Amino acid sequence: MNRLVVDVAPGEYTVTRLDPGTGVPAELLTRDGLVSVTATATEVSVVTPSEHAPDGGRTEPGWRLLTVRGPLEFTLTGIMAALAGALAQAGVPLFALSTFDTDHLLVRAVDLDRAVRALREAGHEIG
């Protein structure tokens, strides 16, 4: 795996679980920072900067966002595996998601320093 450049976003993020079929306010999608809404038959998961987390669900606050500098080609393989493997070896839990252009990892704020150290030791650059 080539060296990846991973940027640490400012601020904390919250992961929220809403009941299936729950709508989210449209203005949520115009907020700064990463906003991700994923709906399945059993849940709606929302990732937002903590100050914009929706009400009414089960929340997991206290995450920090790491983003692979992209855009990444769809033909690339092993990116998430390389990052997740380095974090797993360091005992750092993660919440992973991808967008069209790149991959994102959320790690607990209390684990951020350990995560950064593990990624650097695996040969990746932290921006």
Domains of the chain, first to last: 5-126 (3.30.2130.10)
DSSP 33-47: S--EEEE-SS-EEEE
Residues 6 or more apart whose Cβ sits within 8 Å of residue 91: 114
pLDDT tens column, 24-43 = 999 999 989 999 999 999 99
- Tens digit of pLDDT for each residue in 35-90? 999 999 999 999 999 999 999 999 999 999 999 999 898 888 889 999 999 999 99
Determine the length of the chain.
127
**Identity of the residue numbered 68:** V
Residue 1 pLDDT exceeds 70: no
Model pTM? 0.93
Asked if 108 and 73 count as a contact pair (C-beta separation under 8 A), the reply is no
